[in-house]
């Protein structure tokens, strides 16, 4: 028996379990599948693997779908858009799994296992103490009918295990090349739990076959699952899909990504102020590189250049500094009106007055070059909303106490008393007149005004700051600095 449907098209899938937020590693897997499907002009399928009844939630599923949409990963088939190979939610496919369990029963390729979790753990520990493999020891493999009846009379409900015969399982991986496993390291594995729900490997094989999946692209933590799945394909007489196992993502300490490394979910990176296009670009380059060597790549460039042959076999290190740099590049490429839209709610949530759209746009124009994450905008923009300016550190205080500062302030107040229109050009002209009037120039001229207006010794270009603050505010802040 071959594929249920004939296809020459690539069909790749992403199949998350709705048991929590979308992990950044799983997002990278979704991106790789999406890029490959689009590169080959194929189909990208979304399947929800929700057979873990205790942990699966509707809220998690909603969150995962929202994150995928935010990343720009549209799917051609899925639980919300439908498709000819559905249902696309495993909890709606239980009858299909039961039908195929019965087929394996009839062919005696599976057997009931009555071992309790406690018994399994005791025997596993005993095997480990003897230096033996921790796989299932086949305790229930040869139970007689009478022994089965005895267990069932005691109220034990069986799981069903697949019979793994003595053989070597070999498959070709598009990233790793030929991969082989010995059967003694696989062991008879469970297909159906005692409650009738399917295990991952079984449901995955049945779904991938009947959804006509041509390529399974996933993290290399699934490599040990693949020989089990290959055995199931063989047992059903089905042709397996092509497999590609992508190296996992490591933290900067080269340990597996976890909460100790900081943010681990897509929603957290979204809240931290990263742009979806930057995150997709960054995650795409973890273990993959473009032929040109370029790192800033549009979606079209990523799609066109995607090739499994350019995926490294080594694990990828998640470099937050590089992500910040890349996100900054994408922020600077934004249209200023789009950037204004993005920072508007952040400024509002920070408690700043956002009633003047013109002012917010002017702030956006001035600060767009200065941020690497959108959430940095509130701290950088606070200088435009403060009613009183205080030096924020000792260096700023020292500037205000310098002998040149009082001369600069006095000259500024004198010259601006007759100024009308207040723009960048006006401010620059005032500073030239102060220099001419006092003989002070360079840092000694500009730094006192910067600290008087912002409280900081570093910041965005001063003429732009002065223009946004307005003449009245500038005079008010300089006068206070002069009197202090």
Question: What is the DSSP track for 442-479?
Answer: THHHHHHHHHHHHS-SS-S-HHHHHHHH-HHHHHHHHH
Q: At residue 273, does pLDDT exceed 50?
A: yes
The reply to whether 40 falls in a domain is: no
User: What is the pLDDT averaged over residues 343-354?
Assistant: 96
The reported pTM is 0.91
pLDDT band at 250 (very low <50, low <70, confident <90, very high): confident
- Which among 384, 410, 433 is the end of a domain? 384
Residue 132 has a pLDDT of 82
With the CA atoms of 248, 252, 253 and 258 taken in that order, what torsion angle do they form, in degrees rounded to the nearest 10? -60
- Mean pLDDT lowest among 108-112, 252-256, 331-335, 392-396: 252-256
- Which among 384, 405, 426 is the end of a domain? 384
Residue 36 token pair: 């490959």
User: Which helix (H) or strand (E) element contains residue 179?
Assistant: strand 177-182
Residue 2 has a pLDDT of 36
Q: Measured between alpha carbons, how far is 201 from 245 in angstroms, rounded to an integer?
A: 16
Is the domain of 410 the same as that of 379?
A: no
Residue 105 has a pLDDT of 96
Is the domain of 378 the same as that of 352?
A: yes
The domain that holds 279 is classified in CATH as: 1.10.1160.10
With the CA atoms of 385, 389, 392 and 395 taken in that order, what torsion angle do they form, in degrees rounded to the nearest 10? 130
User: What is the pLDDT averaged over residues 100-125?
Assistant: 94
Q: Using only C-alpha atoms, what is the Rg of the chain?
A: 32
Please list, in sequence order, all residues whose beta carbon lies within 8 angstroms of the beta carbon of residue 377, skipping any fewer than 6 positions away: 273, 343, 346, 347, 367, 371
Residue 102 has a pLDDT of 97
User: Residue written as tokens 């799983």?
Assistant: 26
State the number of CA atoms in the 13 A half-sphere of 107 facing the CB: 13
Residue 180 has a pLDDT of 95
Encode pLDDT of 285-301 as tens digits.
998 988 888 999 999 99
Q: Measured between alpha carbons, how far is 225 from 228 in angstroms, rounded to an integer?
A: 6
Residue 420 has a pLDDT of 86
Is the domain of 409 the same as that of 371?
A: no
The reply to whether 120 falls in a domain is: no
User: What is the pLDDT averaged over residues 425-435?
Assistant: 96
Long-range contacts of 190-195 (CB under 8 A, 24+ apart): 190/113, 190/159, 190/160, 190/161, 190/162, 191/101, 191/104, 191/110, 191/159, 191/160, 191/161, 191/162, 191/232, 192/97, 192/101, 192/159, 192/160, 193/159, 194/157, 194/158, 194/159, 195/157
The reply to whether 95 falls in a domain is: no
Q: Measured between alpha carbons, how far is 366 from 460 in angstroms, rounded to an integer?
A: 7
Residue 445 token pair: 């001229």
Q: At residue 190, does pLDDT exceed 50?
A: yes
Cβ density class 5-27: b for 16+ within 10 Å, e for less: eeeeebbbbbbbbbebbbbbbbb
- Mean pLDDT lowest among 309-313, 350-354, 461-465: 309-313
Residue 429 has a pLDDT of 96
Q: At residue 7, does pLDDT exceed 60?
A: no
pLDDT band at 262 (very low <50, low <70, confident <90, very high): low
Cβ(19)–Cβ(52) below 8 Å: yes
The domain that holds 412 is classified in CATH as: 1.10.10.350
With the CA atoms of 432, 438, 442 and 444 taken in that order, what torsion angle do they form, in degrees rounded to the nearest 10? -130
Is the domain of 351 the same as that of 372?
A: yes
List, in sequence order, every residue forming a beta bridge with 324; answer none if it has no partner. Answer: none
- Which among 362, 384, 406 is the end of a domain? 384
Give, in degrees to the nearest 5, the angle at Cα 173 between 171 and 174: 145
pLDDT band at 257 (very low <50, low <70, confident <90, very high): low
The reply to whether 166 falls in a domain is: no
Encode pLDDT of 145-185 as tens digits.
999 999 999 989 999 999 999 889 999 999 999 999 998 88
Residue 6 has a pLDDT of 43
Q: Measured between alpha carbons, how far is 239 from 253 in angstroms, rounded to an integer?
A: 40
State the number of CA atoms in the 13 A half-sphere of 268 facing the CB: 12
Q: At residue 415, does pLDDT exceed 70?
A: yes
Q: Which domain holds residue 432?
A: 394-483
User: What is the pLDDT averaged over residues 73-83?
Assistant: 97
What mean pLDDT, rounded, does the chain reach?
A: 93
Q: Measured between alpha carbons, how far is 97 from 58 in angstroms, rounded to an integer?
A: 22
User: What is the pLDDT averaged over residues 202-228?
Assistant: 96
Terminal CA-CA length for the chain: 88
User: What is the pLDDT averaged over residues 344-373?
Assistant: 96
The reply to whether 94 falls in a domain is: no
Q: In the 8-state DSSP scheme, what is residue 422?
A: -
What is the total count of domains within the chain? 2
Q: At residue 3, does pLDDT exceed 70?
A: no
Residue 4 has a pLDDT of 43
Is the domain of 344 the same as that of 399?
A: no
Encode pLDDT of 20-34 as tens digits.
999 999 999 999 999
The reply to whether 344 falls in a domain is: yes
Q: Tell me which residue of 82, 91, 98 sits closest to 19, measured CA to CA.
A: 91
The reply to whether 412 falls in a domain is: yes
Is the domain of 341 the same as that of 457?
A: no
User: What is the pLDDT averaged over residues 86-103?
Assistant: 96
Q: At residue 1, does pLDDT exceed 60?
A: no
Is the domain of 326 the same as that of 430?
A: no
Q: At residue 231, does pLDDT exceed 90?
A: yes
Residue 171 token pair: 């498959």
Is the domain of 271 the same as that of 362?
A: yes
Q: Measured between alpha carbons, how far is 48 from 89 in angstroms, rounded to an integer?
A: 5
Residue 27 token pair: 């997002």
User: Which helix (H) or strand (E) element contains residue 201?
Assistant: helix 200-210
Residue 53 has a pLDDT of 86
Residue 134 has a pLDDT of 85
Q: Do strands 168-173 and 177-182 pair parallel, antiparallel, or not at all (unpaired)?
A: antiparallel
pLDDT exceeding 70 applies to what percent of the chain? Answer: 97
Q: At residue 456, does pLDDT exceed 70?
A: yes
pLDDT exceeding 90 applies to what percent of the chain? Answer: 85
Residue 70 token pair: 């935010």
Is the domain of 372 the same as that of 403?
A: no
- Mean pLDDT lowest among 5-14, 143-152, 404-413: 5-14
Which of 6-15, 221-230, 312-321 has the highest mean predicted lDDT (pLDDT)? 221-230
Q: At residue 347, does pLDDT exceed 70?
A: yes
Tell me which residues are annotated as active site. Answer: 259
User: What is the pLDDT averaged over residues 249-259?
Assistant: 76
Is the domain of 299 the same as that of 409?
A: no
Taken as a whole, the chain contains a residue count of 484
Q: Measured between alpha carbons, how far is 438 from 415 in angstroms, rounded to an integer?
A: 12
Q: In the 8-state DSSP scheme, what is residue 255?
A: S
The reply to whether 90 falls in a domain is: no
Phi first, then psi, for residue 113 (nearest 5°) are -125, 125
Is the domain of 302 the same as that of 340?
A: yes
Q: Measured between alpha carbons, how far is 268 from 63 in angstroms, rounded to an integer?
A: 12
Give SS3 for 243. Answer: strand
């Amino acid at each position: 028996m071959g594929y249920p449907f004939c296809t020459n098209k690539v069909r790749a899938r992403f199949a998350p379990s709705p048991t929590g937020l979308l992990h950044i590693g799983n997002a990278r897997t979704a991106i790789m599948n999406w890029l490959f499907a689009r590169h080959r002009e194929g189909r990208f399928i979304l399947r929800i693997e929700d057979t873990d009844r205790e942990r699966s939630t509707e809220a998690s599923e909603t969150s995962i779908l929202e994150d995928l949409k935010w990343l720009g990963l549209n799917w051609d088939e899925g639980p919300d858009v439908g498709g000819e190979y559905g249902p696309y939610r495993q909890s709606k496919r239980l009858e299909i799994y039961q039908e195929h369990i019965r087929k394996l029963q009839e062919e005696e390729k599976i057997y009931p296992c009555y071992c309790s979790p406690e018994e399994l753990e005791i025997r596993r520990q005993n095997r480990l103490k003897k230096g033996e493999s921790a796989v299932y020891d086949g305790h229930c493999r040869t139970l007689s009918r009478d022994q089965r009846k005895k267990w069932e009379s005691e109220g034990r409900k069986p799981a069903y295990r697949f019979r793994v015969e003595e053989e070597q399982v070999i498959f070709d991986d598009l990233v790793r090349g030929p991969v082989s496993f010995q059967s003694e390291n696989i062991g008879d594995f469970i297909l159906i739990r005692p409650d009738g729900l399917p295990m991952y490997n079984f449901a995955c094989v049945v779904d991938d076959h009947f959804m006509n999946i041509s390529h399974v692209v996933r993290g290399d933590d699934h490599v040990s699952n693949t020989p089990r799945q290959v055995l199931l394909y063989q047992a059903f007489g089905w042709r397996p899909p092509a497999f590609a196992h992508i190296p996992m993502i490591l933290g900067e300490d080269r340990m597996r990504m976890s909460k100790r490394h900081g943010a681990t979910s897509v929603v957290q990176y979204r809240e931290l102020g990263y742009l979806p296009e930057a995150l997709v670009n960054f995650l795409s380059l973890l273990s993959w590189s473009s032929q040109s060597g370029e790192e800033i790549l549009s979606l079209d460039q990523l799609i066109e250049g995607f090739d499994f042959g350019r995926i490294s076999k080594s694990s990828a290190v998640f470099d937050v500094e590089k992500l910040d740099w890349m996100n900054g590049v994408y922020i600077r490429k934004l249209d200023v009106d789009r950037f204004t839209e993005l920072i508007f709610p952040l400024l509002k949530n920070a408690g700043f007055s956002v009633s003047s759209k013109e002012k917010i746009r002017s702030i956006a124009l001035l600060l767009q070059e200065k941020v690497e994450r959108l959430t940095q905008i509130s701290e950088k923009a606070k200088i435009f909303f403060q009613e009183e300016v205080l030096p924020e550190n000792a260096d700023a205080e020292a500037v205000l106490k310098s002998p040149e500062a009082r001369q600069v302030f006095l000259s500024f107040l004198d010259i601006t008393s007759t100024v009308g229109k207040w723009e960048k050009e006006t401010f620059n002209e005032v500073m030239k007149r102060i220099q001419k009037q006092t003989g002070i120039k360079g840092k000694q001229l500009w730094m006192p005004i910067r600290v008087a207006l912002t409280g900081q010794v570093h910041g965005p270009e001063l003429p732009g700051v002065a223009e946004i603050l307005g003449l009245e505010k500038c005079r008010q802040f300089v006068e206070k600095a002069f009197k202090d």
